[in-house]
Amino acid sequence: MANFPIVRPRRLRQNKLMRDIIAETEITEKDLILPIFIKENLSEPEKINSMPGVLRYPINDNLLKFIEESYGNGIRYIILFGIPSYKDDIASSAFAKDGVIQKSVKMIKDTFGEKLIIITDECTDEYASHGHCGIVKERRGTYVVDNDESLKLHAKIALSQAEAGSDIIAPSSMMDGVVGAIRKELDENGFQDTAIMAYSAKYASTFYSPFREAAYSKPGFGDRKSYQMDPRNGYEAIKEVRLDIEEGADIVMVKPAHTYLDIIRLVKSAFPEYPLAAYHVSGEYSMIKAAAINGWIDERVAVMEITTAIKRAGADLIITYYANEIVKWIREGVPF
């Protein structure tokens, strides 16, 4: 035996209080953003087959009651996804004054005022008959999503959301220049104080599948690989995030979260001065849920471990379908 004292990290792991005092990462309710699906022409909340435990809400008291309960649990940030009653080529229900999101934002603002921050997902896929994140054009016999034509449409949708009262616009289309186009439109129309949370590094991921069932937003043809990022690329995320920051993003995002912890760390290290959101997406949610329903994992411990990992990797904000459960579980005491 060497003649020196054994270094003993275990001293600080003796019991829960000792572990708590040196814990580097702590999830609080202020880290969490709750996604809510809102569907037009619905009267009662509706189950989503691919996402057990998540519901689609109608634009009525059922929605307000759910938000009130979530507020009671400690939730202060919500992100809204709309499911319109009609779709067309140019996603006109996404910018209609009485569109599903516009009506919902007004109703929630009228009820909750400044008590909640409302974030609105800004995209066309749920509102367009073709299910893509922009304007589709025919070019040399194939259909493509036209970048620059799409910018005008995204700016228009963003403005209509701001007019309805959204606090933060979250462009999720991955069109080049979309953040700049939205910033300009908002500024020119007196919405200098409306913030932008950009889905900056959004990967073309299979883990969005349950969401596409939830929001009926599966592309009608092709896929999203010409605009969303290639899962094989890491450093490219830095380029995407840098461009969004230059164009005026206030908060940037990595999506998915659990499958892309390395990207969260990379982006946080490159831009530590910018708030970073991470989206624990539908497929990541449903995988945990499925294992839990089968009794293969302890749902509470798994969710707390994964959410903590996302924060430990560098996320400041976490969008998660588990937000309500997490705030309850925090109150019961972390399972570490």
Active site residues: 202, 255
188 is in an annotated binding site: no
CA 160: distance to chain centroid?
20
139 is in an annotated binding site: no
- CB 217 → ligand PBG: shortest distance, Å? 6
Which residue from 70, 166, 172, 320 is in contact with ligand PBG, where contact means CB under 6 A? 172
How far apart are the C-alpha atoms of 310 and 27, rounded to whole Å? 10
- CB 216 → ligand PBG: shortest distance, Å? 11
Do residues 75 and 92 make contact, with C-beta atoms less than 8 angstroms apart? no
241 HSE (CA, 13 A, CB side)? 28
- CB 282 → ligand PBG: shortest distance, Å? 3
Query: Is 212 near ligand PBG (CB under 6 A)?
Result: yes
10 is in an annotated binding site: no
Do residues 199 and 172 make contact, with C-beta atoms less than 8 angstroms apart? yes
321 is in an annotated binding site: yes
Which range touches ligand PBG (CB under 6 A), out of 206-214, 244-252, 258-266, 328-336? 206-214
Q: How crowded is residue 185: how many other Cβ atoms within 10 Å of its Cβ?
A: 20
Which range touches ligand PBG (CB under 6 A), out of 143-151, 154-162, 207-215, 300-308? 207-215
Query: Is 306 near ligand PBG (CB under 6 A)?
Result: no
How far apart are the C-alpha atoms of 298 and 293, rounded to whole Å? 10
Query: Is 211 near ligand PBG (CB under 6 A)?
Result: yes
Beta carbon nearer to ligand PBG, 308 or 320: 320
> In this structure, what DSSP letter does residue 94 have?
G
Beta carbon nearer to ligand PBG, 92 or 217: 217
Q: How far apart are the first and last CA of the chain?
A: 33
- CB 170 → ligand PBG: shortest distance, Å? 8
How far apart are the C-alpha atoms of 73 and 27, rounded to whole Å? 14
Which residue from 181, 281, 304, 327 is in contact with ligand PBG, where contact means CB under 6 A? 281
E strands, 64-179, where?
Answer: 77-83, 117-122, 135-139, 142-146, 168-171
Beta carbon nearer to ligand PBG, 195 or 214: 214
Name beta bridge partners: 139.
142
Helix axes 178-188, 147-164, angle to 10 degrees: 40
- CB 105 → ligand PBG: shortest distance, Å? 16
- For ligand PBG (CB under 6 A), the number of binding residues is 10
Which residue from 31, 40, 121, 167 is in contact with ligand PBG, where contact means CB under 6 A? 121
Beta carbon nearer to ligand PBG, 121 or 163: 121
Which candidate, 255, 238, 137, 166, places its Cα nearest to that of 203? 255
Query: Is 37 near ligand PBG (CB under 6 A)?
Result: no
Beta carbon nearer to ligand PBG, 172 or 334: 172
**Tokens linked to 87:** 């779709």
Query: Is 286 near ligand PBG (CB under 6 A)?
Result: no
Q: Could you give phi then psi for residue 305, rounded to 5 degrees?
A: -65, -45
310 HSE (CA, 13 A, CB side)? 30
Beta carbon nearer to ligand PBG, 129 or 269: 129
Name beta bridge partners: 57.
38
224 is in an annotated binding site: yes
- The residues of the shown chain that bind ligand PBG, judged by CB under 6 A, are 121, 123, 125, 172, 208, 211-212, 217, 281-282
